[in-house]
Amino acid sequence: MSHTIIIFGASGDLTSRKLLPALWELHRKRRLPEGVRIVGFSRTPFTHDQWRTKLAESTAECAGQALDGSLWRSFARAIFYQQGDIEQADDFTVLRRTLDELEAGAETTRVYYLSTAPRFYEPAIAQLGAAGLVEPSCERCRVVIEKPFGTDQVSARGLNDAVHRVFREPQVYRIDHYLGKETVSNVLVLRLANTIFEPVWNRNYIDHVQITAAEALTVGRRASYYDSAGILRDMFQNHLLQLLTLAAMEAPSRFEADAVRDEKVKVLRAIRPMRSQDVPGRTLRGQYQGYRNEPGVGPDSPTATFGVVRLSIDNWRWQGVPFYLRSGKAMSCRTTQIVIQFRQPPHMMFDQGPRDLHEANRLVLQIQPAEGIQLHFQTKVPDAGMQLRQTELDFNFRRRFAGEMPEAYQRLLLDVLQGDASLFARADEVELAWGIIDPIQRAWDSGLPELAQYESGVWGPATSSEWMQHEGRQWFDLCPVLH
């Protein structure tokens, strides 16, 4: 069995910064299945060798060290390039011939990877269909589609329809790179491979959940994309809702793509839809000072670079437990974390015990960059009467396990080659997620709530902590310590 990965948009950034370095790492660790070849397709003219040389340079740069020469040569022998234009049907006929020659009749799994600008997704899929590059000639064909998958529910539905005219749903792999992070998979392992967490993982013990994805970086040179997307489309519709579903879903009986995704879809369906009049009270939006001076951003741009959304999940497990989602650019530090804030003990018999929710038990799942888990709890200060203090059990992946945390794309690419779609978004999941975000985005587009400004390097606008205090709670604002 051989495998061919055809990358559309091969001369782009994603290919050189993520896809090839991930495939190289898999090759280096001898994890790639036998007989993998990579075919780049894009408009820039390259010979096979020119493309190989360009990839050798970008891959070494990403790896931060020179590549092992003979290992790279064995990898590079399986890299090919075909110049082509997604809008030219003839180029797909040539591609078909090229693939047939390379595969020489061997049974092959083909992975069509769309790493192009999103406006090319539909034309590329239609051309693949028209050129006979998918079924019935290729039963083992798969398509990988990068984010953003649409810009709202209607466009996502339209894109799904276009995809389904050519591919069957089990052949479709919609990327959300957060799902390839080890710590994100570990949310389910923590909850469901241990006995002690699940019994308290509900409204009886949990006061609220905070999911934060903060970035210290500004928008920089991505402004032309970002200014029309904004924080809701860029981070909430995909990454933050994925984290929420993993934290909130019921246990599937098996770790299989559809069993897992069925449970995630149930959570999305249970999220209370936001009416336009609810948006000003349940969300916040902000923009960092200086955003409007970024190249490509207009002087009056209303695009939010920071947002908070409070969601409610209407089911037995979560009724009355708010899920606070928060994300922003130009924040204090880079950290993605899920904070499970437990309730106060029902009765406190120690005079100096916690009186404030912030002092109650808290489980912090550090998704990145200090990947780990902390459990905060009260303890007796030795030799100080009955004085109590909050302390923590601290688990850190890098300290506990040798080696680097792998890049998300390694896991995701390997899963595509092996035909495991558990860590990819299904059609209904993506559409439901847009259905949650759309009403918020509509209200924001109409100017509500007010767009608050914030200085770079803080935890968003000042209104954010005031708003949380008004909720009777406090943000857990802590930059992780990197060991």
User: In the complex, which residues of this chain contact ligand BG6 (CB under 6 A)?
Assistant: 147, 215, 234, 336
Name which of 233 and 282 has its Cβ closer to ligand BG6.
Answer: 233
Q: In Å, how far are 169, 422, 424 from 415, measured between CA atoms?
A: 16, 8, 9
Q: Report the nearest approach of ligand BG6 to the CB of residue 177 (Å).
A: 6
Phi-psi region of 6 (alpha: psi -120 to 50; beta: other; left: phi over 0): beta
Active-site annotation holder among 239, 347, 376, 483: 239
Q: Report the nearest approach of ligand BG6 to the CB of residue 303 (Å).
A: 12
* First vs last C-alpha separation in the chain: 43
Which residue is closest to ligand BG6 by CB? 234
Name which of 166 and 425 has its Cβ closer to ligand BG6.
Answer: 425
Residue given tokens 């779609």 in the structure block: 421
Q: Report the nearest approach of ligand BG6 to the CB of residue 244 (Å).
A: 16
- Taken as a whole, the chain contains a residue count of 483
Walk across the sheet containing 141-145 and list its strands.
79-83, 36-42, 2-8, 108-114, 141-145, 172-174
Q: Report the nearest approach of ligand BG6 to the CB of residue 191 (Å).
A: 22
Name which of 148 and 354 has its Cβ closer to ligand BG6.
Answer: 148
Name which of 91 and 234 has its Cβ closer to ligand BG6.
Answer: 234
Name which of 354 and 372 has its Cβ closer to ligand BG6.
Answer: 372
Rounded Cα distance, 70 and 58, in Å:
17
The H or E element containing residue 199 is none
Q: In Å, how far are 370, 460, 478 from 215, measured between CA atoms?
A: 14, 11, 13
Are the CB atoms for 75 and 26 separated by under 8 Å? no
Name which of 39 and 214 has its Cβ closer to ligand BG6.
Answer: 214
- Residue 114 neighbours by CB under 8 Å, 6+ apart: 8, 9, 120, 121, 124, 125, 143, 144, 145, 146
Using the CB atoms, write b or e for 309-346: b if 16+ within 10 Å: bbbbbebebbeebbbbbbbbbbbbebbbbbbbbbbeee
Name which of 15 and 361 has its Cβ closer to ligand BG6.
Answer: 15
Q: What is the DSSP string of 313-379?
A: B-STTTTT--EEEEEESSBSS-EEEEEEEEPPPS---STTS--SGGGS-EEEEEEESS-EEEEEEEE
Q: Report the nearest approach of ligand BG6 to the CB of residue 405 (Å).
A: 11
What is the SS3 assignment for 230-296? HHHHHHHHHHHHHHHHHHHCCCCCCCCHHHHHHHHHHHHHHECCCCHHHHHHHEEEEEECCHHHCCC
Looking from the CA of 203 toward its CB, the CA atoms found within 13 Å total 11
Name which of 336 and 341 has its Cβ closer to ligand BG6.
Answer: 336
Q: Report the nearest approach of ligand BG6 to the CB of residue 49 (Å).
A: 32
Active site residue 239: yes
Q: Report the nearest approach of ligand BG6 to the CB of residue 215 (Å).
A: 5
Q: Report the nearest approach of ligand BG6 to the CB of residue 151 (Å).
A: 13
Q: Which residues are catalytic?
A: 239
